[in-house]
A and B are shown apart, each in its own frame.
Chain A
Amino acid sequence: MKVGGFIGRILRVNLTTGDVKTEPINWEWARKFFGGKGLAAKYLYEELSAGTDPLSPENMMIFMTGPLTGTVSPCSGKHVVVSKSPASCTFLDCYAGGYWGAELKYAGFDGVIIRGRASKPVYLWIHDGEAEIRDASHLWGKDTHETEKALKEELGKDVKVCSIGPAGENLVKFACITNDLFRQAARGGIGAVMGSKNLKAIAVEGHGGVWVPDIEKFVDVCKSVIDEDVLGREDDHGWAITDGTPIIVGLSQGTALFPTRNFQTGVFEEAEKIGSDAVKAVTVARKACFNCPLACGNITLIKEGRFAGTLVEGPEYETLALTGSNCGIGDLGAIAKFNLLCDRLGIDTISAGNVVAFAMELYERGILTKEDTGGLDLRFGNVDAYIQMPELIAYKRGIGGLLAEGVRTAAERIGKGAEKYALHVKGVEYPGYDPRGSYGMALAYATADRGCCHLRAWIVADEAFGDMPPYTFDGKPERVIFLENRNSVKWSLIICDFYLVDYPVMSKLVSACTGWDVSPEELKIAGERIWNLTRLFNVREGFSRKDDTVPPRITTEELPDGVAKGQKIKLEEFEAALSRYYQLRGWDENGIPTEEKLKELGLK
């Protein structure tokens, strides 16, 4: 079978037995779930037993591309890594840009499914339709940049690498996978899953191609979409070209939802020092992922001060918010250095910023003392202590050992009321938008299928940054559902978040690419189907309404500053919105998809 955009082959690797084999992609599933999130979720749902320990050999890691990956379709440079999360024990899907995903297809595979645990450190070398498991004892202990460099020296300069750092090796609950130096599959501890398998890296190189049935037509479609729908919509995409995500600092600060000092306020007195203009002042180049005309990335070089010489792609908004303002840090050089340390050690900056801010607050409140911190004066804004944290966490040294478990587990172990200061849903730390300043985000975070996530439904763009009234749940369940469904199918093709593509254009792209007749309506249903499938996965793991929560700080404390002053989420309003969300979704009052809904979506 030959379908445009697809290679048609999946690589299966069992690290316990050393078995490596190739199989045809499941075409029935591909037609229904396309690729990326949806297809990987289907494989995971069908093949992973409920209750599997995420860090056991039985857990699966699925690296997946979509039909558009490797083609000239705009903003299609991402791949996804799917597993069961060691942080939340939910479904987990992590997206990373760069070049790795396209290279995997050129190397002859749509995806890689990994199980088992190698008896010693190994890496996977995938090249032109073949794959081998190789010894990685010389790489174990190296950071991600050292690993990438060593593998390029070993295998060739054009090899694309994704790898874990010491944090993944040491099973830090928010360890990430870094690829192409500065791109991460970041959240939910996906790097710890890789570490638990003794899998240090996957190196890929391919000289093959991606075929589409009518390439002239498809290329024309892509060119017109780039010109008219991506670059032509300046209001929607101009920010990515001129600024990138740091532009959000100004928006969040202006709407008083900019996480500051562990979400104690939404206004940071030093916001300007870490805002977009400040980032622009140290930007030396803009950076794109594979075949993206937007190039939202900023390569920055700190030229002065203690952190002079630090070169990093970033910091992105989430890093500026969580490792910056949320830790009381207004020194852009320090944030860039922290960012680089996290990338190299292999830690998610969102969760890292959260755990450090959490510890800082406990320290200031006397719940943690100098004895606990190993002598560190862990005050908000203290760069000296702050900059040591990534290493302490990655190597689980001192206080880092506790924080490496994430805020939920750390709070449980500390006791003394520490859970009041732990901002998370299902054990995954809060992203950079305080929902008290944009209520819909509380619903988005609570219902996110991988644990707390801002990307599934970035409704803050519609409310606090847009036209919807921010301090009410009216109309929010509808909007959150729309966004969750649309993104589910968008991330299956895979198209990047930052291209605001609608169903008709997605339909045009995927139809021209595959040769299938895929209508906008079909994509809409597929999105809903995929969201219900990941919910089903979580329900099978025991999740329900009781887990779709808002942290105590958000429901008990009012925001003290700025335009959102006096705002908090009223629990009864949130619960009512959640009920409405379930009802609109066709789920029961406990958040379980009904038989009727599952039949309607072809999931039963």
Chain B
Amino acid sequence: MRIVVAEEGCMGCRYCENICSVHFVDEFRPAYSAIRVVFELPESHVMKPNVCRQCEPEPPPCAEACPAGAIVKDEKLGIYVVDRESCTACGSCVEACPYDAIFLPPGAEFSVKCDLCGGQPKCVEWCPRDVLRLE
């Protein structure tokens, strides 16, 4: 399973970011969001959320790069998630991700990676233009 982003239709409201952060830190705090809208204004009108592709084949580059073995498979969802307890916030996963889709906010104790909110992603539910879907 992963979140698929439509090529067009994003209008940059960043609801996905804000609601995602609530899942991770119980605050409105987009710095702790696993999804980020990428803007190219004013050169181009393109706006598009960037989120973890849940890379295949296994293991994904982030998990491979993690020295603490903190990016582990969630057998129920079939995707790799960050185990906050063992994550040392070293940033190796951020460097390894080919899509810039895993995040380490300044001062954070764990890296932020899309875990599909346990199967019902909030961003998909909240996107006002159905740009995001779960596949």
A interface list, Cβ under 8 A from B? 70-72, 99, 106, 128, 145, 181-182, 206-212, 215, 219, 223, 226, 231, 284-293, 295, 297, 299, 301, 311, 313
Contacts and interface: CB of A to CB of B under 8 A. Distances in A.
Interface in B2-23: 8, 11-15, 18-19, 21-22
Contacts of B30: 106
Given A72-B15, A295-B128, A311 B45 contact: yes
B11 A286 contact: yes
Main secondary structure of the interface of A (DSSP, over half): loop
25 contacts: A72-B126, A145-B42, A182-B41, A206-B31, A207-B106, A207-B107, A208-B29, A208-B31, A209-B31, A209-B32, A215-B27, A219-B19, A223-B126, A285-B46, A286-B11, A287-B47, A288-B12, A288-B128, A290-B18, A291-B15, A291-B18, A292-B13, A295-B129, A301-B45, A311-B42
B103 to A, nearest CB: 10
Contacts of A219: 19, 22
B42 to A, nearest CB: 5
Contacts of A210: 27-29
B41 A181 contact: yes
B68 interface: no
B28 A71 contact: yes
Contact of B31 (A207, A212, A289): A207
B105 interface: yes
Nearest to B14: A290
Sorted from nearest, which 6 A-B pairs have the closest CB atoms?
A209-B29, A209-B27, A288-B13, A293-B128, A207-B31, A295-B11
A231 to B, nearest CB: 7
B26 A285 contact: no
Contacts of B21: 209
A209 B105 CA distance: 12
Q: By CB atoms of chain B within 10 A, which of A72, A182, A206, A313 has the most?
A: A72
Q: By CB atoms of chain A within 10 A, which of B21, B25, B41, B47 has the most?
A: B41
Given A210-B28, A295-B13, 11 more contacts: A70-B18, A72-B22, A106-B30, A209-B31, A209-B32, A226-B128, A288-B128, A291-B14, A295-B128, A295-B129, A297-B11
Interface string B103-133: 0011100000000000000000010110000
B19 to A, nearest CB: 6
Contact of B13 (A211, A284, A290, A311): A290
Contacts of B126: 72, 223
A311 B41 CA distance: 9
A288 B107 CA distance: 30
Nearest to B43: A311
Contacts of A106: 29-31
A221 to B, nearest CB: 13
B124 to A, nearest CB: 13
Nearest to A312: B42
Q: By CB atoms of chain A within 10 A, which of B13, B18, B21 has the most?
A: B13
A293 B22 contact: no
B32 to A, nearest CB: 7
Given A209-B32, A290-B14, A293-B128, A299 B45 contact: yes
Contacts of A212: 28
A209 B81 CA distance: 23
A211 B106 contact: no
A99 B30 CA distance: 12
A245 to B, nearest CB: 15
Nearest to B13: A288
Contacts of B45: 284-285, 299, 301, 311
A313 B31 CA distance: 26
Contacts of A311: 42, 45
Contact of B12 (A211, A231, A287): A287
Interface string B26-57: 11111110000000011001110000000000
Given A208-B31, A215-B26, A215-B27, A99 B128 contact: no
Nearest to A211: B27
B11 A285 contact: yes
Q: By CB atoms of chain A within 10 A, which of B18, B26, B28 has the most?
A: B28
B42 A181 contact: yes
Nearest to A75: B13
A234 to B, nearest CB: 14
A303 to B, nearest CB: 12
A288 B29 CA distance: 19
Contacts of B14: 99, 288, 290-291
Contacts of A290: 13-14, 18
Contact of B47 (A223, A285, A292): A285
B13 A291 contact: yes
Nearest to A215: B26
A99 B47 CA distance: 14
Contacts of A285: 8, 11, 45-47
A71 B41 CA distance: 24
Contacts of A206: 31
B104 to A, nearest CB: 11
Nearest to B105: A207
Contacts of B13: 288-293, 295
A182 B12 CA distance: 13
A429 B106 CA distance: 46
Contacts of B107: 207
Contact of A215 (B12, B22, B32, B42): B22
Given A288-B12, A291-B14, A291-B18, A231 B128 contact: yes
B27 A72 contact: no
A155 to B, nearest CB: 14
Nearest to A69: B28
B126 to A, nearest CB: 7
Given A210-B27, A210-B28, A293-B13, A72 B41 contact: no
Q: By CB atoms of chain A within 10 A, which of B12, B46, B107 has the most?
A: B12
A291 B21 CA distance: 13
Given A207-B107, A301-B45, A287 B11 contact: yes
A313 to B, nearest CB: 8
B102 to A, nearest CB: 16
A285 B11 CA distance: 7
Contacts of A226: 128
Interface in B64-101: none
Q: By CB atoms of chain B within 10 A, which of A223, A289, A299 has the most?
A: A299
